[in-house]
Amino acid sequence: MYQGVSSVSLPGVRIVRGACAAARVLPLPRPLVRIRHYVDASADERFPCVSALRLERVSKHWGATKAVDEASFATPSGALVVLLGPSGCGKSTTLRMIAGLDAPSAGRILIDERDVTRAAPAERRISMVFQSYALFPHLSVADNILFGVKVRRDPAADHARRLDRVATLLGLGALLDRKPAQLSGGQQQRVALGRAIIAETKVCLMDEPLSNLDAQLRQEMRREIRALQQQLGMTMVYVTHDQTEAMSMADQVVLLRAGRIEQDAPPADLYARPATVFAARFIGTPPMNIVAAPGRADLKLGVRPEHVRVVADGGMEAVVQSAEYLGADTVVTCSTSAGGMLADTLAARLPGRFDVAEGARLRLGWAAADAHYFDHATGRRRDDVVPVPASPIDPRRPA
């Protein structure tokens, strides 16, 4: 019954394909993006390179609420950084401080190495796309796109050229005379995007820009935004609570939890080497299984459902609670049994269709390399642990 680890579809692999697909839509050279990690470095090592955007120990307190608590990260020019995390973790507040709409309680914000912490929004040379699009209903598409350019009194002789370029990039050429009410959701989203692009700023901020769109359109717009960002070489800060959006679009993911940065890493690293139990469970569907590590009360053992397989012997004994057939795979949720007692819940994502009745007994295993260990008390990743021999299963032994 063992299906072979090679058939597992890793989200990490899909990201690469997604990025290539996006690049194919608009086949221009991808800017060279090098991501540096700052999370565990000392203060002096933290900010070694010239960055398009840099936050240094930025905090925002609303009374007793620490909306953002000493957040530090840096983004190289031309990168797309996603601020990811559950509702209320401080994503929008961070973005609003970068934009200059909220003042930090402490810390510094630098754009192109210029300290803009106290600068007015208009002085920061950034553009912003809001969740609501914020289009003017009485203005045409063309006037909506040009609105900021006119307010800033950019040279009028340049307007037509810039509008034409943006309309071509976004496929809005035939819609320039329409009013927003005469557009679909996706087209309205493009107009909002056009308004940001026409500003020709180096840094573009986006606050959950796709949340008003249906699933299919979200996917299309995701690819479109990513391709445009790469084509124009923009540095983009993109806020979302949707891990799929983060995984498929980002060069760098800053995962926030209750105002603090949990992990700052490229998407593939976040999946393969989550720094904490929280990060491990935030990325991936279903989330990573976290169970008691056999024989080690000081550790928790993590294994992704897509790495769990049914094995003939060894492994963990499990009782099936439910099986959900999803087309490409089946998610089987089990209770593991420890000493005859039902203990942790363990989900397995098995390729294809896997028919199994509720209450059936299985043995579940995984390759030693797919086991993650976390400190039981702090939840932090432990890379120093030698895999506990009783738990992982040699995947070369099919059932």
The residues binding ligand ADP (CB under 6 A) are 62, 65, 67, 85, 87-93
- Minimum distance between the CB of residue 241 and ligand ADP, rounded to whole angstroms? 7
- DSSP 3-state assignment of 399? coil
> Which residue lies nearer to ligand ADP by CB, 71 or 247?
71
Please report, in angstroms and rounded to a whole number, the separation of the first and last CA atoms in the chain: 5
**CB-based contact 129:193 (threshold 8 Å):** yes
Nearest to 89 by CA among 278, 300, 284, 280: 278
- Minimum distance between the CB of residue 242 and ligand ADP, rounded to whole angstroms? 12
- Minimum distance between the CB of residue 121 and ligand ADP, rounded to whole angstroms? 17
> Which residue lies nearer to ligand ADP by CB, 96 or 381?
96
Residue 147, phi then psi, degrees to nearest 5: -50, -55
- Minimum distance between the CB of residue 160 and ligand ADP, rounded to whole angstroms? 38
- Minimum distance between the CB of residue 245 and ligand ADP, rounded to whole angstroms? 14
- Minimum distance between the CB of residue 278 and ligand ADP, rounded to whole angstroms? 14
> Which residue lies nearer to ligand ADP by CB, 67 or 280?
67
**CB-based contact 246:267 (threshold 8 Å):** yes
**CB-based contact 54:64 (threshold 8 Å):** no
**CB-based contact 241:283 (threshold 8 Å):** no
**What secondary structure letter does DSSP report for 288?**
P
Alpha-carbon gap, residue 83 to 235, rounded angstroms: 13
CA dihedral 44, 45, 46, 47 (to 10 degrees): 80
> Which residue lies nearer to ligand ADP by CB, 256 or 301?
256
> Which residue lies nearer to ligand ADP by CB, 91 or 372?
91
Alpha-carbon gap, residue 368 to 83, rounded angstroms: 32
- Minimum distance between the CB of residue 70 and ligand ADP, rounded to whole angstroms? 15
Place of tokens 């600068």: 119
**CB-based contact 347:324 (threshold 8 Å):** no
Nearest to 247 by CA among 32, 11, 4, 85: 11
CA dihedral 286, 86, 39, 246 (to 10 degrees): 60
- Minimum distance between the CB of residue 382 and ligand ADP, rounded to whole angstroms? 28
> Which residue lies nearer to ligand ADP by CB, 91 or 218?
91
> Which residue lies nearer to ligand ADP by CB, 88 or 351?
88
- Minimum distance between the CB of residue 87 and ligand ADP, rounded to whole angstroms? 4
- Minimum distance between the CB of residue 385 and ligand ADP, rounded to whole angstroms? 33
Alpha-carbon gap, residue 52 to 107, rounded angstroms: 17
- In DSSP terms, 128 is beta-bridged to 205
> Which residue lies nearer to ligand ADP by CB, 88 or 287?
88
Alpha-carbon gap, residue 106 to 316, rounded angstroms: 50
**List of residues 6+ apart from 172 with CB closer than 8 A:** 141, 145, 166, 187, 190, 191, 194
> Which residue lies nearer to ligand ADP by CB, 61 or 382?
61
> Which residue lies nearer to ligand ADP by CB, 178 or 281?
281
Alpha-carbon gap, residue 89 to 199, rounded angstroms: 30
